[in-house]
């Protein structure tokens, strides 16, 4: 059974989601605008947010389920990701990491595989 939603329902959902997102972000801005000093435990926890977000964005595209272990290990995205991770660990330079990772991916994708 298919359900068709009208334009009013779609726009209502979009506006409601937008208002909720804005309210969540505004609440943190308002909260940290009123607090003079961030508690040390919260500051320590917030240090882990960027790596967690990066891992949540990158890992699903690197990890694949292939019929064999060899096909999984030889996936060009995984190889480029491991090399980019090594560059990031060694240089701590975002642009070098992106450049090397994309370069290796393009070389593997268009010249090797």
Residue 70 · residue 84 · CB < 8 Å = no
More confident residue, 73 or 110: 110
Question: Residue 28's pLDDT is what?
Answer: 79
What pLDDT, in 10s, does the model give residues 1-14? 566 788 899 999 99
**Of the candidates 62, 66, 69, 64, the residue with the CA atom closest to the CA atom of residue 84:** 62
Assess whether pLDDT exceeds 90 at residue 15: yes
More confident residue, 22 or 60: 22
Long-range contacts of 59-68, Cβ-Cβ distance < 8 Å, separation of 24 or more: none
Question: Residue 100's pLDDT is what?
Answer: 96
pTM for the model = 0.56
Question: For residues 105 and 93, what is the distance between their CA atoms, to the nearest angstrom?
Answer: 18
């Amino acid at each position: 059974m298919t359900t068709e939603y009208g334009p009013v329902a779609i726009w209502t959902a979009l506006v409601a989601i937008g208002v909720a997102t804005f309210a969540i972000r505004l609440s943190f801005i308002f909260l940290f605008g009123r607090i003079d000093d961030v508690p040390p435990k919260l500051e320590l926890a917030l240090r882990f947010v960027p790596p967690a977000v990066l891992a949540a964005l990158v890992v699903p595209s690197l990890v694949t389920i292939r019929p064999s272990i060899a096909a999984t290990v030889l996936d060009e995205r995984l190889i480029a990701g491991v090399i980019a991770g090594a560059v990031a660990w060694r240089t701590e330079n975002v642009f070098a990491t992106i450049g090397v990772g994309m370069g290796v991916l393009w070389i593997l994708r268009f010249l090797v595989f």
